[in-house]
Every structure is written in C-alpha cells, then in structure tokens.
Chains A and B, each alone.
Chain A
Amino acid sequence: MTPKSNFLQKHSLIIVVYSLVFVLITVGSIYSERFLTLRNLTNVLRQAAYLGTAALGEMLVILTAGIDLSIGSLVKLSVLVSAILMDGNPDNVMMAVGLTLALGLGVGLLHAFLINELNLSPFVVTFASLFILQGISLTITTKPIGRSSKDFLLLYSQKFLEVPIIVYFFGLVTLLVAFLLNMTVFGKHVYAVGGNLTVAELSGIPVKKIRYGVYGICSLLAAVTGLLWLMRMGVGDPVIGKELELNAIIAVVIGGTSLFGGRGTVTGVIGGVLLLTFTDNLLGTWSKSICERVGQGLNFCCCCRSL
C-alpha cells in the first residue's frame, strides 16, 4: 500500500465530511447572496461554538469507548444555575461562573466514580444522569428564570477584528483538546483505554484516572456550553440543551470517531460540527424540524456506513 492511498483511506471520512461542508457552502452561496458574507460566516462559526464545545468533550469520552448521554441536561441545568446565581448583578459573575464550572466538573467526576467503582456501564450511568439532571432543572423552574449581568451578556456580541470573541474562545478550546490528545501522556492513554482496555491495564495505565479525566472534562465543557448559552439568552431558559447530547454524538461520529473507542481526531470532529451547523444554518429558513431531522439521520447513516 502506498503511503498516499493509505492516507486517503485512513482519512476518507474526514475528507467526505469537509467536502460536504464545501458543498453546503457552495449551495448556500447560490441560494442566498447574504450567505457568503463575513457576517453570516462568522455567525455560523459562533453557532458552531455551542455544539462544538460540547462535542469536543463528548469526543474525549467516546475515545475511551464510553458515552455521555447527560450533557444536554447538564447544559440546561448550567444555564439555570448560572442565571440564578448571577441574577443580573455584575459582582456575581465570577462566583456564578466558578460555581457553574464546579457543578459541571462535579457531575463528571461523579459519573467516572460510578463507572469506576461500581462497575456500571457508561451508558447506564449517564442515561440515568440525563433524567436526574433534567428532573432537577424542571423542579427549579419550567419558565425562564434568573438574569445574566449586562457585561456578561455583551460578551456574546463583542467582536475582535470583525470576528465574535466566542469564535476565538472556541478556537482556543479546540487547540487545547488537540494538544491534550496529541502531545500529552494523558491523550495517548485516552486512546489506549478506548483501543484496548486489557492492554491498557496490562501496560500499567491508570485507567480509572483517565476516566475521571475524560468524564470530568466532558461535563466541564458542558457547563461551559451552558455559560455560553446564558451569554446568548440573557436568562436561564429551561428549553436550552434539549437533545444536545444527540447532536454532539452525531457530530463526533460523522467526524470519524469510532463509537468503539480508540480512533478519532479533533479535525474530524470539527468537520462534523461544521457540517451539522451549516446544515442547520441553511435549513433554518425552511420548515426546520422535519428537514433537519431527515438530513441528520441521513448524514449519520452515510457516515457510519463508511466507518
């Protein structure tokens, strides 16, 4: 096998995903002249930050052959908690952000604890967590609650060199995750745990610690996503986060990450996120729900087929 064909084969899915993104951009620019403007494109990227931040966390978990089904519910809870804590008071921002992040990290570590120590499957633990977190949110409120402080809300629309700062933030998160996976011992161990658990154990890899790491980061990033939503909405809206985990998992998987663990790249996941976000952006004006669902379903099938 020549190195080139090997390269193509290995990265075929990523190439497909990015080609589809390109097709969507082409179609979009024909369909509407407002599509291919800096304003719209940066807008889409800002949207992508919401799904992307959560998806990168989900990716880490999936790389270890785990799954986190609770991130949508956690995003919802994070929005409510941060909005209530902030309550429109600029003095509360740091406290609210800190506590929300702590909440996220705590939930993730609890997931890992249950998986590690009680030997429960990630599916069971995080599925239960999905309902529990949702239940807590619904107990707190069913209507919008709390308020963001003004400065915090402004962060959403703030731009640097014409580009929303949220996009820079997302870029930073992406680079951090890529660095973590490719340059650190932790990253290599994440791949090893997902690739072959027995081998990882026999090689003396601290498997439990790795799980605390990935579930912790995943939930932490979900809390971050919650905060991003508060920036956008200005209030704690309990509608936020619905089925986010499904979109995140779809993005991760169509980006070429194996649901069986051990295989996947940040580049691919970002491709998956962009594909979903562009689809969403283009279909936004149409009868959204039906087309989007069908589109996502097809995307998912096609990409999984070529795995």
Chain B
Amino acid sequence: MKDDQLILEMNNISKSFSGVKALDDVSIRCKKGSVHALVGENGAGKSTLIKILSGAQRPDKGTICFKGKNYESFSTREALSVGISVIYQELALVSEMSVVENIFLGREIRRTVGIIDSARMRQEANRLLEQMGIKINVNREVGELSVAYQQMVEISKALSRNADLIVMDEPSAILAGHELEQLFRIIQSLKDNGVTIIYISHRLEEVFRIADEVTVLKDGQHVVTRSMEGLSRAELVSAMVGRKLEEVFPQSLNKAGECVLEAHGISTDTILQKVNLKLHRGEIVGLAGMVGSGRTELARALFGADKLTSGEIKLMGERVEFSSPADAIRKKISLVPEDRKQQGLFTALPIKNNITLPILKKVSRWFLLNRKMESSLVESSKKQLSISMASEHLDVQFLSGGNQQKVVLAKWLHTKPEVIIMDEPTRGVDVGAKFEIYQLMRRLTEEGIAILMISSELPEILGLSDRILVMSEGRIVVELEHAEASEEKIIEYATMGESKAA
C-alpha cells in the first residue's frame, strides 16, 4: 500500500567530491502527486542530490527507487526517459531557437528518417501550452520571451516528455510577483494531473504556500522530513540554520560616533534631487525604497561614479570632489555592488587574485608580486570572514553566492575603508550565509566603519539598520529611527508620490 503511494525513494545516498562530503547518507521519499519542498542553505547538498536524480552525477553509495523500480544510478538520458525532468534555474533553452523547436529539442517528431514534421510539432506544442492555460506563439524565438514564459516553455518541455516527476530548482528566483501566481497555478494543475514536484526554494513563504511536505538538508545531511501541516516558520528556519530566528539580526551595541560622510543637496543628471544625508561612525544606515526610486543612483553619486550637478559631499568635515570611483576609493569609500557577478568579481579568476586586486601595490615590491604576502592576506580574510574554500586558487565562479559575496567584501576590507556602501548585500545568498554577513557588518561597525546598506528586503532593513532612509522618486522622503520603523511605514513612504513628499 505504502509503496503505491511513493513515486520516488532515494535511500542512503552519499557523494564526495575530492574528499569533501557533499551528501552523507541522505534519504528522501516523495509521494505521488504531491509537492515536496527541498530546503537548506547553499552547500547543504540540494543541488548534488538533484544532479544525482537527473543523472548528471553518480552517487558513491545508495539506491534510487523510482516508480517501484530500483536503480543504482542514471544516465541523463535514462532519467529523462523514465520520466524525471529537472528545470534548472539557468533555464535549459536555446534562446536562438523557437518555442516549438525548444520543446522538442532532442526528441523531434520525425516524418521519416531524419526529417522533421514541423506541422505536428507545432500542433503538439500548442496543445501542451493550452493545457497549462498559456498563450504563446510557438514560432517565436525563445530569447524574445520574458523569463516567466521561458520557464513555462521549460515546463511544457517536461510535460511533452510525459514527466511524472518535475524538479524545479529555485523557479521563483527569476519571477516577479504576478508571474509567481501563474507558476503556482500551473503547479496546482500539474499536481491535479498526478505529477509529482520537488520544489527547491530559498523563499520560505512559497514553501508554506504550495508544499505538502518538506525535507531539510544541512551540510550534506538529512535534518528532517515532515508534512507542512502544523509546521511553523520559526521551526523550519531553525531546522535550516540550526539557530533561532531572533538571533538572525545582531543588534547594535555601540552608539554612533562622529559624522564621516555628509551630503548636502546633491543632485545628478539621473533622477537624484537635492539629497541630504549623514553617515556616522559605527552605524548602519538602511536605504529603502522601490526599485527605481534612486537608491542605486545615490550610491553611485556618493562613490563618484555619477557627476554631481549640484550640492556637495563632505568627508570628515572636509569638502571632497570625486571625479571617478578611483578618487572615492582613495578616500576610503568602498562600494559593494548589487550584481556581484557583473560588477564585483572576476568570476573566472582565482579567489586570491580577486581579493588582492585593489591592493596590488601593497603586496608588491619593485613591480613584483610578493606571493607570500598575498597568501597571508587571503588567509586572514578567510579567517575574518569565514570564507569556505578548498583553495585560494579556486576560481570564484565555483563558490556559492554567500562565499562570493564574502570575497567581494574581503577585497574591499583590505583597502581599509571608512565608509562601505552595500547595494543588496544578501541578494542570492542563503539563510546561513546571510546571518554571517549580518554579523560581519555589525562587527565592522564596531570597528568604527560606517555602512550605508541598500536593500529591497524589508526584514533586513528593519532588523539591521540603526536608522532608515526611505527614498521615492529621487528624494529621501523620510528618516526613521530603528525603534519607530515598521514595514507598513516604509512601504507607505516609499510609494508616496512626489506631490506629497514635496
């Protein structure tokens, strides 16, 4: 009886990579037609587990039982043919090809040997899309579609293969609010048709919303599997990180010191209008506001990346003019950018080179790099920020999001900054690493650094900031103290039009 219900059992799976255990005796069981959430920090082993399920990797130990049949391991092809489809975060689509070509990629419907039957493929693709309740012209190039639609093309692709189990790896990470609703609707209809879904997500709200069961992994080990019924958010978080929710935001212990950075009525060619701002030693100032409210523009202006059209910036009471970010860096201001892969790191270079890049002068003599000095600096960063890395020679692209962010931070900390501007410091970072980054930010302020933090995550703004500035349409509309701020207030001010603000 019980065996009928279970579609998938992965039993006692272990997998090591060059001696490091990625999975240690992990088991997971999924019921047919249910949504099974898989949660855990980055590096907890979720993706390794999924790769084993999809046939991309072979387990060292353990067995997989799918639809009542036992397997030692799969090849990618086998996994697909028995009915397992994985939808990765980086969608597996060829953007130059059309919707219909993508759906049937690798399994084209043939008229005779080697010749494709485009008419039937189009018909079939239309049927699948209709079944999910979406309308797309199947001849359009996938690259022209929004990511939400691209994701739906992926789902249709899985359906066209008659998948019984669809694994969705962080599907929501690329979706906006209303698109998420559509995804949930599609998941519901898939469920009604008896398809099983393994749903991986960082966002716990979603897990609570759609999952029937949840499995928590931590450090490659299975923590718990249980039904969502009666599970509280706090319980889930503490299972994930092994600590309680209240401890997530470390509170400020010290008082703000003297004023380090001051802006008087600064405006730029972008949307920034007469912004005033003060940053003191030892405080974290949160900068909230909608996307496009001018937060990033303010950061760029303070960092010398955009030219001021009016107003002035004072550093330690002295008027300064930055003609480029290089000037700002020399004056001990650092910017940790929003998009670390594009703007913060050389992802194809080793960790060491990334960290020492801004301070090459310091670690060299007569134009020659002192490797020992470099390594010792990297070693100290590793300790200070607890970056987990196998070697300093590893390319940054192989690190998890949290560790990448720590590398960016390490790089700037070596320039001994007085002011750090952080744009979305925890975007794409898992819960555990978030906590470490918060702690680190606190520690830095205790050493007298002033931090200006831009964030779209209100809990982060509320939990961490000593003061909160809310921006709207290029102005700072209100300043709130830590104690008086609430989500409602921030949203109210952030959505306030120019008329009211003025």
Contact = CB atoms under 8 A, between A and B. Distances in A.
B297 interface: no
A114 B470 CA distance: 60
Contact of B94 (A6, A183, A195, A204): A195
Contacts of B101: 188, 191-192
A161 interface: no
A262 B96 contact: yes
A192 B92 contact: no
A118 interface: no
Contacts of A41: none
A268 B109 CA distance: 27
A290 interface: no
A191 B143 CA distance: 14
A263 B116 CA distance: 19
A196 interface: yes
B496 to A, nearest CB: 34
A192 B93 CA distance: 9
Nearest to A63: B96
A191 B92 contact: no
Nearest to B101: A188
B115 interface: yes
Contact of A204 (B106, B110, B116): B106
A186 B113 CA distance: 11
A193 to B, nearest CB: 9
Contacts of A198: 92
Given A203-B105, A204-B80, A188 B116 contact: yes
B77 interface: yes
Contact of B97 (A185, A186, A191): A191
B206 interface: no
Contacts of B96: 191, 194-195, 258, 262-263
A200 interface: yes
B114 interface: yes
B91 to A, nearest CB: 8
Contacts of B77: 204
Nearest to B140: A6
Interface string B77-103: 100100000000000111111000100
Interface residues of A, number: 24
Contacts of A6: 144
B76 interface: yes
A195 B95 contact: yes
Contacts of B92: 196, 198-199, 202-203
A196 B110 contact: no
Nearest to A179: B115
A263 B98 CA distance: 12
A185 B110 contact: yes
Interface in A194-232: 194-196, 198-205
A184 B93 contact: no
Interface in B100-155: 101, 105-108, 110, 114-116, 144
A196 B106 contact: no
Contacts of B97: 188, 191-192, 195, 262
B94 A191 contact: yes
Among A191, A200, A202, chain B packs the most CB atoms within 10 A around the CB of A202
Contacts of A196: 92-95
A258 B107 CA distance: 25
Interface in A1-51: 1, 6
Interface in A155-203: 183-186, 188-189, 191-192, 194-196, 198-203
Contacts of B115: 183-185
Contacts of B116: 183-185, 188
20 contacts: A183-B116, A184-B115, A184-B116, A188-B97, A188-B116, A189-B106, A191-B94, A192-B101, A192-B106, A195-B95, A195-B96, A196-B92, A196-B93, A199-B92, A200-B106, A204-B76, A204-B77, A204-B80, A204-B106, A263-B96
Interface of B: 76-77, 80, 92-97, 101, 105-108, 110, 114-116, 144
Given A188-B97, A188-B101, A191-B97, 4 more contacts: A185-B108, A196-B95, A198-B92, A199-B92
Q: Nearest 4 A-B pairs (CB), nearest first?
A: A203-B106, A195-B94, A262-B96, A195-B96
